[in-house]
Chain A
């Protein structure tokens, strides 16, 4: 492996921001899953968890942008700018870079709908946001497939770890959804759980006395 110099700096930049992006996006997905269950992080109120989800996702977008632009600007391989937006339009690593472009497009859709959330119905926003379940695995496949970095050593453990925690979180999310009580039955369920021997009218002058209750 050669050192970093002016001709390889873009190449290294692209690779490293790619790895960081993967970690950030994994964190965003995990916190997003936590939010769907009204979960909390230690020491943070719920609105801060939502804020963290939002800010981490914007940070991830910044890293993805650097990752993409550095790859395009690097002259070692030729990737046309259009190939970063249109999937499978690149001559170099057509399939794996195509996955990356597809994941980025899905991310862009989620970001745009979230920024415009005020003006959209909940259904539309949610429908688009569910694309995270597609976008993240595609991004992971892209990062493993398009470079040899993640195929061995500590980076392989990192990628495997990301895949394991996200899978576990999704399983936890689905299990919770299966257990969820339908809205109309929630209150009745809670009420019957805390039902006490209720009071009755005219229970007499002596509430504790035998025969009056």
Chain B
């Protein structure tokens, strides 16, 4: 991708006042922030400059005291928006705690915009349209943990335009002298695992982007052995708004258990895709375009879950609801597969990609994922053997939970859900037939697998 997608449409049902009782103070942006989208500026596809950003939200509200922001974030109930939905205040507290114990090194804050999931474009879009919001969040997080180093890491291939926008934004901030901690830009290699926390820290430390076993967690011993806070760029943008408007404002959107909003990458069956910001708990049927949508939906990206559209339409976008269907919101990716595509062939192609993206470190992943991918290739072809489905089920069980990272677990979940969701298609293939009519692949898959160690740098 060279330029990110444009922002949300304007006529969405969730774009309404969230909290009619919250009174806005004119000029401080609170009034504007009562509506969604909170993060992305509306009706534009050029980056918001510092002046427009300050006019919309005001300057970064430094607190001067670390614990204040941690308390606010805890009260707001903000969770990581990179996919794992880990409570942000616990990471902040862990880094503060580790920093207190280590006398030698001050903490480092990393804004994770590696966005290595090929189907997601929300981080690139956010960085392109609202760079200053992310940079505010990065500064506030750095202040909260007492960091003396801040790094913003973006995806190397998608970084082209985004990198230029970020450099311009950083120059603007330098001119206005609003940043207390210098920000360094870095690039993550185009590897699926590059955005994984330990892989990112390894790469920033000069090594290949490989995940390592935890413990030690990066919050304890990360970049240069310093306590390291790694947060997704969208998480930092939310954090910047919580620092301004407080936890009560944040909780005006979302559910009681999972407050706030999240950016979503929606890919509809007609090939149209866009980025939108929705409150957690939004009914999936609103996002999929109606209750009577047909086909199969991939929830949560390539480590996610295939769900028949009819079943998905009854769910809402939050962990609690999706857990029942064996899914999670992940990084907010929702893909509707068109009826012209074969779900098995698409899954086999993605499984092959995921297998090639294995770091090749842990035996179960290195040996299991290629086997699973090979078996899926067979299932996607004509007249697969009956026992091949059992093989995939067994191997998926064998690899789960046995890697340094969750790559085998996510791949196994994705593949298993396909066997259930595309059971009908599997029956067709067993009779030597296939329902696909389109000759084009639907799911985006990068073409260049890693061949040498250099490709991981």
Contact = CB atoms under 8 A, between A and B. Distances in A.
A71 B380 CA distance: 73
Contacts of A20: none
Contact of B453 (A183, A197, A200, A206): A183
A207 B433 contact: yes
A79 to B, nearest CB: 44
Contact of A205 (B346, B349, B433, B451): B433
Interface in B263-282: none
Interface stretch (A24-32, A101-109, A136-144, A187-195): A187-195
Interface string A164-187: 000000000000000000111111
SS class, residues of chain A in contact with chain B: loop
A182 B359 CA distance: 11
Given A194-B371, A202-B437, A203-B345, A187 B355 contact: yes
B382 A207 contact: yes
Given A191-B355, A199-B348, A184 B450 contact: yes
Nearest to B440: A201
Question: Which residue, of B377, B381, B432, B441, has the highest number of chain A Cβ atoms within 10 A?
Answer: B381
B436 A184 contact: no
A198 B369 CA distance: 16
B369 to A, nearest CB: 8
Given A185-B452, A199-B381, A205-B433, A191 B373 contact: yes
Contacts of A207: 381-383, 429, 432-434
Nearest to A199: B380
B302 interface: no
A51 interface: no
A184 B207 CA distance: 13
B374 A208 contact: no
Interface stretch (B10-18, B23-31, B34-42, B360-368): B360-368
A204 B345 contact: no
Nearest to A191: B370
B381 A191 contact: no
Contacts, number: 103
B360 A183 contact: yes
Contacts of A208: 382-383, 432
B122 interface: no
A89 B452 CA distance: 52
Contacts of A205: 433-435, 437
Contact of B436 (A183, A187, A201): A201
Given A184-B456, A194-B371, A201 B358 contact: no
Given A184-B452, A184-B455, A207-B432, A200 B366 contact: no
B363 A183 contact: no
Contacts of B383: 207-208
Contacts of B358: 187
Nearest to B451: A188
A202 B361 contact: no
Contact of B433 (A188, A200, A206): A206
A196 B374 contact: yes
B438 interface: yes
A203 B436 contact: yes
B449 interface: yes
A6 interface: no
B360 A202 contact: no
26 contacts: A182-B452, A184-B450, A184-B453, A185-B451, A186-B366, A187-B366, A187-B369, A190-B366, A191-B373, A194-B370, A198-B348, A198-B377, A198-B380, A200-B345, A200-B439, A201-B342, A201-B345, A201-B438, A202-B342, A203-B342, A205-B433, A205-B434, A205-B437, A206-B432, A206-B433, A206-B434
CB-based closest 5 A-B pairs: A207-B382, A202-B439, A199-B380, A186-B360, A208-B432
Interface of A: 38, 182-188, 190-191, 194-208
